[in-house]
Amino acid sequence: MKDIYIGLDIHTDGFYGTMMDTQGKVIAEGRSNYNKEAVQNFFAGISSARMKIAIEACGIWRGVYKLLTEIGYEVVLANPLKTHQIAAKKKTDKVDSRILADLLRTGYLPEVYIPSEDVTKLRDIARHRARLVRVRSLLQCKIKAYLSRDGIKHPGGWSKESLEFLKNLDRRIANFVRIIGTINEEIKEVTREINEIARNRYLTKLLQTVPGIGEFSSLMILGEIGDIKRFDNPKSLVSYAGLCPGIYQSGNKSHDVINRACNKWLKWIVTECSGRAAMLDNRYMKHFYRVKRRKGFKVARRSVARKMLTDIWYILTNEEPFKES
């Protein structure tokens, strides 16, 4: 047991911290900058063995976590959405840091999994490729909008011939075409790196035995899941991906609610793979059409994705390839 609990509300230019003892009394609070000397001065006179620090999982948490752990402090990561659902609607730096410290002290802090450095690298490269593709798709939509505005029909596809045709239509469209060409080269380079990693990892090769999962998707799925042992059963993995609806019940009335506190990248990639899986595997195909008849296309896609995640859980847990139906 630690006897000092600290909540840090972190920002790009520094943090606001609150220190509490085991009784909930505030020992000290205030602001500090992000450098080793400033942080050590903020915690001056307190042994790292006595402290436990909580920070929220925001866009800059990784750098703060690295700084604090390198100094020797124990740090846990909190789910920001669930933290504020538990605590209060009032939001200031002071209130946020106190809430983090108090929830940490009482054992009610909703903690978030902190991936290892190896898993983080897998996540970074897979997400980077996905972001590049999304930027390219945005530019393609802009080109189509320009063509529609001028009453010109899109030639179809995005081959080199199509891009060359588009480049000669309009100077502004040519700007977009040149950027798309550059992005295509970057995507090819990142894809080569991803394929090399995926071909040399045992678990990614196991995932590629699942219909609809290729080298890129296997790497992203493995990176987003991390350690499969943290999921006790397939249902917990499905819930982590946000592919099972939550429920709100009061008396005799109940309705489904969207699970927003989930891993959106895992949800996206498995849903993308589910479309192809439903065409390649007989079991997935039958399941897809059975659900589609009752509830429609979108629900059927999500249902196949849930089934795939269940299979993925068993594959990674038992380290066995996919068994065809």
Q: Residue 276 is which amino acid?
A: R
* Res 250 pLDDT > 60: no
pLDDT of residue 249: 52
Q: How far apart are CA 216 and CA 123, in angstroms?
A: 11
Which of 59-73, 217-231, 299-313 shows the lowest per-residue confidence on average (mean pLDDT)? 59-73
pTM over 0.85: yes
The proportion of the chain whose per-residue pLDDT surpasses 90, expressed as a percent, equals 70
Return the pLDDT at 35. 84
**Cβ–Cβ under 8 Å, residues 221 and 270:** yes
What is the rounded CA–CA span in Å between residue 80 and residue 60?
13
Antiparallel, parallel or unpaired: β 75-78 and 51-56: parallel
Tokens representing 309? 């995640």
The DSSP letter of residue 3 is S
Distance between CA atoms of residues 23 and 229, nearest Å: 35
Question: How far, in whole angstroms, is CA 163 from its chain's centroid?
Answer: 33
d(CA 251, CA 260): 24
CA distance linking residue 65 with residue 10, whole number of Å:
11
* Whole-number pLDDT of residue 298: 92
pLDDT score of 260: 66
